[in-house]
Chains A and B, each alone.
Chain A
Amino acid sequence: MKQKRVGKVHVLIVDDEEIVCKRLYSSLTKHGYEVETFTDPQKAMDHFAENRKFDIVVTDIRMEGLDGLDILNAVRVLKPGTKTIMITGYATMEVAREAQTKGAFDLIAKPFKPKDLLKLLDKAVRELNQEGG
């Protein structure tokens, strides 16, 4: 199902709902991803800046403090080429679409199943492979 890159694919998950982090962590890890999760977007960004190993960032849009758009902007500056997937609810659909025009890889609407996200990650990995050659 998944085309593996050379080495592990690093995924950073940012969502202020702890359950989302826990479930995505277990599910994605099971599928071979190297996953780190943060419920605090500021800490997530600091971590991203410190070690720029992440290939894919999955972030919720509406959070306390920094929001999904801030993260997208920071990621594009810190490590261009990182695939950012926005998690959006009904109320943030417009923001998510705007994020896509600003360079987000894709968006996923709540509520979703782990395999919905896995499909998007698959797609992202394919693109990363193509870009990486």
Chain B
Amino acid sequence: MGEERRTSTGNRQDEENDESLSLGSVLTSEGFSKEDEEFGEAADQALKQRPSFSIRLRLILSFAIIFLLPFLITLWIMHTLANLQDKILFLEVADDYKVEIQQARRFEKNYLLYGTNLNDALEHVVRAEAIFKKYEDRFRKVIGEDALDEMAQNSRDYIKILRNIPESQNERPQMEKKLRSHGALMVSLAQKLTEKERVWVQEKMELMRRVPFIFLLLLLLLMILLVGFLARHILNTLNRFIGYTQRIAAGDFTPITPARRYRDEFSVLALYINRMVRALDRHHRILVESHKLRAMGTLVAGVAHELNNPMNNILLTASVLQEDYLELDEEERKEMLDDLVAQAERTRKIVANLLGFARQSKAVVETLDIRKILEETVELIGNQLRVKKIKLHFDVPEKLPMVHGDHQLLNQVFMNLIMNAADVLPEKGEIKIKTSTDQREGFLAVDVSDNGPGIPEHILSRIFDPFFTTKPKGQGTGLGLSVSRGIIRKLGGYLLARSTFGQGSTFTVLLPITTIPSMLSARQDRERKH
């Protein structure tokens, strides 16, 4: 029956929560931490202000470089092939020239031996001369100016001798000698010409055989370099972003700041992630706030009832004093005044507790005595446990290691765990609060156990999900455990749940034990004083 009241107030709180969720953006622009928003915007500005060097541009440049190399090679090959074709054609000309010279010499020999074919010899050497004249420039290019002059001189002298054969036998041996020497020189120069051209062609052919292999090697090297460069850039950045997502998932909502000199597509992603993180942070804060509202609602109801008793005592006593003042004797009056003071004192204590819980402040992580917090929590909600006739075992030793935490947030978490246990317990159920230091090294464990119905396995895995609730509609926001886990994680601890269906559940809060020497010594000082 007591729960029915909670249902009705719970409904009202749900509506308020829904409203605050839908008003999220409004709340943010007005209230929630302006500094964070500004820091986020500064990070965004820094991300945007770098010079741009997009991945698209990098890809285009890489492919342009990869294209440029074959393009140059193709140009070179085309050029060389044209040259070769030209050289091969010229080689034929040079061969013709050589053949004409050789023919002339053959007829020259005949003439010298048998006195025949003089005209034939002349004819061939004149033909050779014609070829030489026609291709003089090319000849010059191949064998050079000096050889060309020599070639021309020889051929002119040779023709001259052939045309002016002396009649006298005495002059013949000298003429023959001259003729032979010019002839031999002509042949050797012609051979030199063809040889030079042939060697050039062979060298180019050899080069063309080698160049494609060299080119392939170069291309491979270039591709390895470029792929390495691109992959390193993209993969490194992806890894960095994976890191960001893990960091964000762990609840660190610091915005992404520039890690590279240039802006690219990932910078846009970073901007959007920053925007998402801000939205997440906003929603997270709203969740915490709305949950706090719910906790406050429960608390206020309890406190209102708690306040009623001393106020009732005060009103009754004051009324009696007022009405019967003259009829009362001195002792009775004094007793009533004492009662008034005591009851006013009682209300003051309740209000102080409420204020302690409700003080609006940021998470203040300090070294805390967990026993004190647990005692406070139990005192705050003890009345509601009494209504349900739930028995509370408080198994917390006097001396416990100090832990890191926020007083108010931890109050909220323990209140939530105890109220959850109370919600599932039938009348006269039992809740046990127990602390230990041997569950995990460096952590103090607080177990909140109940002997209720327990949580089936398929539900156990979902109880920390936001908005997951097994309570009837309107009774639970589904935020309690999710927000509690968020709080404990923020404080560097863990919130775990285990349950045996039919035998009850245990929620364990693991909080890091304070090891900072200054804090420990502060604690020792405190202990000495006490």
Contact = CB atoms under 8 A, between A and B. Distances in A.
Interface in B338-359: 339, 343
A89 interface: yes
Contacts of B26: none
B510 to A, nearest CB: 34
Nearest to B328: A26
Interface residues of A, number: 24
Interface in B371-416: 386-387
A9 interface: no
B14 to A, nearest CB: 19
Given A111-B311, A111-B316, 4 more contacts: A27-B319, A111-B312, A113-B319, A114-B316
Interface in B309-330: 309, 311-317, 319-320, 323-324, 327
Interface in A14-57: 17, 19-20, 23-24, 26-27, 30
B305 A113 contact: no
A90 B301 contact: yes
Contact of A91 (B302, B313, B324): B302
A115 interface: yes
A128 interface: no
Nearest to B322: A113
A114 B312 CA distance: 10
| A20, A90, A93, A114 pick with most chain B CB within 10 angstroms | A90
A131 interface: no
A64 B316 CA distance: 22
Contacts of A92: 2, 305
B35 interface: no
A17 B5 contact: no
A122 interface: no
A112 B304 contact: no
A127 interface: no
Given A90-B308, A91-B5, A94-B5, A112 B343 contact: no
Given A19-B317, A91-B305, A112 B312 contact: yes
Interface in A84-101: 89-95, 98
Given A111-B315, A114-B316, A89 B324 contact: no
B313 A20 contact: yes
B316 A113 contact: yes
Contact of B304 (A30, A62, A64, A90): A90
A131 to B, nearest CB: 29
Given A23-B316, A23-B317, A111-B314, A95 B1 contact: yes
A-B complex: 9 closest residue pairs judged by Cβ atoms: A91-B305, A111-B312, A89-B308, A110-B312, A111-B315, A19-B313, A23-B316, A113-B319, A111-B311
Contacts, number: 79
Contacts of A30: 324, 327
Contacts of B324: 26-27, 30
Nearest to B4: A94
A1 to B, nearest CB: 13
Interface of A: 17, 19-20, 23-24, 26-27, 30, 62, 64, 89-95, 98, 110-115
A104 to B, nearest CB: 14
Contacts of A26: 320, 324
A115 B322 CA distance: 12
Contact of B309 (A64, A110, A114): A110
A114 B302 contact: no
Contact of B320 (A23, A91, A112): A23
A111 B1 contact: no
A95 to B, nearest CB: 5
B301 A20 contact: no
Given A62-B387, A112-B315, A19 B343 contact: yes
A98 B2 CA distance: 11
A114 B308 contact: no
Nearest to B309: A17
Contacts of B315: 111-113
Contacts of A110: 308-309, 311-312
A23 B8 CA distance: 34
Contacts of B323: 27, 114-115
A88 to B, nearest CB: 9
A19 B316 contact: yes
8 contacts: A19-B317, A19-B339, A27-B319, A89-B312, A92-B2, A98-B1, A111-B312, A112-B312
A11 B327 CA distance: 23
Contact of B319 (A19, A91, A94, A114): A114
B354 to A, nearest CB: 14
Contacts of B1: 94-95, 98
B339 to A, nearest CB: 5
A51 B327 CA distance: 32
A86 B317 CA distance: 20
A91 B312 contact: no
Contacts of B386: 62, 64
B320 A111 contact: no
B312 A17 contact: yes
A10 B339 CA distance: 27
Interface in B276-331: 301-302, 304-305, 308-309, 311-317, 319-320, 323-324, 327
Contacts of B5: 91, 93-94
A113 to B, nearest CB: 4
A111 B317 contact: no
A44 B176 CA distance: 167
A64 B428 CA distance: 12
Nearest to B343: A19
A10 to B, nearest CB: 21
B304 A20 contact: no
A130 to B, nearest CB: 29
